[in-house]
Amino acid sequence: MSSSVFLLPPILVLVWTLSTMFTEVLVALAIGGLIYFLLQRSRSQVLKAEDGWWGTGTPPDGEEDITIRPFTVTTSDEELEDLYKRIDQTRPVASLEDSQFHYGFNSQYLEKVVSYWRNDFDWRRQVDKLNQYPHFKTRIDGIDVHYLHVKPKKVPEGTTAIPLIMVHGWPGSFYEFYGLIPLLTEPSDPNDLVFEVVCPSIPGYGFSSAPQKKGFNSVCAASIFHKLMKRLGFQQFYAHGGDWGWLVTTNMAQLEPKTVKGLHVNFAPASKPGLPMILSIMLGRRFPKLFGFTDMDIQGIFPCMQKLVVESIKETGYMHIQATKPDTVGRGLNDSPVGLAAYILEKFSTWTSRDFRNLEDGGLTRKFSLDDLLTNVMIYWVSGCIVPSMRFYKENVGRGLNAPHTKIPVHVPTGFACFPNELIHTPKLWVKQKYSQLVTFSPMARGGHFAAMEEPQLMAEDIQKFTKAVEKKKTQ
């Protein structure tokens, strides 16, 4: 305050003081009102999806058949004979000396995998394992949607099972969750929540039929899965996803935020860099505490620029192909079981740990069994879904990254499991830019991209922790 004020008459001092206070209040109200308006505007933003018809031709004149049909995984002798014939006729390629997995799947080790597949792998036994849970199909928007529906055998008295939809990604399948399902539906701890689990195959993956028209993206899949859950009688439910499942379940939360009670993901790459994210990239290494960065964050987001560029080039070639011309390379993979196995299993090596590129066997059996890995490959082979699964990149990435859902925040309670060997590290600050109601953020002790399959116990524990937190908050 200026000293000249003291020379004014008292009444003028009072008037001046009151006017100053009034101005400050008006400014504060204006700023507060703007902030409130922006918050309400962001909260009112809801993703919209139009009903589509993804089957062949035009929609039927009458109502679509909405019956739910039991489904059983089966394979004929003729299909297996054709598979073995194709394996026997493969043409081996010698690996470069001392190349490990740096040129892709090591050909020498591939011969061992193929030999096991041809001579020791028991697909019939794995089919029985697949069928241990009840499978179903139902038609939605022209697509036969395949899903597992696993109900708990026992629910504690006075409680109800919590519905949970879990969505896979590429090059995975519903089989990724087979180690996780019993931990959720039959928990050993009496204090744990009991879940009723639905695991669908994304249309074009596994045993869900493929879209026959262009434009089927993650939002379309999210819309179909909402219709699936309603058809099963669920008015509210929780959702979990990784890889493409992260985006599909995120879109589900954006489409119907009051229907999705909680969203749990283990993959959340930043979509739209806001000011906090930009500042954290510029200053985070020098002032980590200012942005809440941990040692895990520093190691995950501040490698030297050269390393960052090189890694990006090394590990994203598949994405560029699938986002532009998926049908070309897909046709070759659809004809060659050995090519298909090499293409898929190389991801289970590198995406589990990039250090596995330095190993002759790609570290494949350090985290997974060959039986489980080949079961996932066989799901792609017997269903012939590799081409439509790759088209999902064309529809989501190839059409630009400026889709409406990238601009809309998620206001559903969210839990994030941060696995150390994930392809992209996302600090808590960045996660909160998209998921405003972040309830839990869990740095995990170990695990990579296929976390549900690699570390089902850790994943189950984090889903329990998150869901308990949300349920407690709702009760309060």
As averages over each run of 10 residues, the pLDDT of the chain (476 residues) reads 40 46 45 44 67 89 90 98 98 94 96 98 98 98 98 92 98 98 96 97 98 96 98 98 98 97 94 71 74 78 64 87 97 98 98 96 97 98 98 90 87 97 90 95 97 98 98 84
Estimate to the nearest angstrom the gap between the alpha carbon of 141 and the chain centroid.
Answer: 23
Angle between helices 107-119 and 337-350 (to 10 degrees): 120
pLDDT at 23: 47
Closest by alpha carbon to 91, among 80, 74, 71, 107?
A: 107
- Whole-prediction pTM: 0.87
Assess contact for 373 and 364: CB atoms under 8 A.
yes
Cα–Cα distances in angstroms (integers) from residue 476 to residues 412, 424, 441, in the given order: 17, 35, 21
Given the residues 175, 343, 393, 435, the one annotated as active site: 393
Assess contact for 143 and 154: CB atoms under 8 A.
no
pLDDT at 46: 77
pLDDT at 199: 98
Token pair recorded at residue 261: 């009670």
Told to judge if 178 belongs to the known catalytic residues of this protein, a careful annotator would answer no
pLDDT at 44: 55
Q: What are the backbone angles phi and psi of residue 263, rounded to the nearest 5°?
A: -120, 125
Given the residues 141, 168, 449, 462, the one annotated as active site: 449
Assess contact for 438 and 427: CB atoms under 8 A.
no
Assess contact for 210 and 385: CB atoms under 8 A.
yes
Q: What DSSP line would sit under 322-390, residue for residue?
A: HHH-HHHHHHHHHH-HHHHHHHHHHHHHHTT-GGGGGSTTTTHHHHS-HHHHHHHHHHHHHHT-HHHHH
Domain 68-475 has CATH 3.40.50.1820: yes
458's enclosing H/E stretch is helix 456-475
Q: Where are the beta strands (DSSP E) in 130-194?
A: 135-140, 143-150, 162-167
Assess contact for 48 and 210: CB atoms under 8 A.
no
Token pair recorded at residue 449: 């991209």
Q: What burial class does residue 85 get, using C-beta atoms within 10 Å of its C-beta: 0-12 exposed, 13-18 middle, 19+ buried?
A: exposed
* Angle 343-384-147 from CA coordinates, rounded to 5°: 105
Given the residues 243, 297, 372, 462, the one annotated as active site: 243
Assess contact for 133 and 148: CB atoms under 8 A.
yes
- 100: Cβ contacts below 8 Å, ≥ 6 apart: 106, 357, 358, 359, 360, 362
Told to judge if 449 belongs to the known catalytic residues of this protein, a careful annotator would answer yes
Told to judge if 120 belongs to the known catalytic residues of this protein, a careful annotator would answer no
Q: How many CA atoms lie within 13 A of 285 on its CB side?
A: 8
User: Measured between alpha carbons, how far is 316 from 309 in angstroms, rounded to an integer?
Assistant: 11
pLDDT at 193: 97
User: Measured between alpha carbons, how far is 447 from 236 in angstroms, rounded to an integer?
Assistant: 30
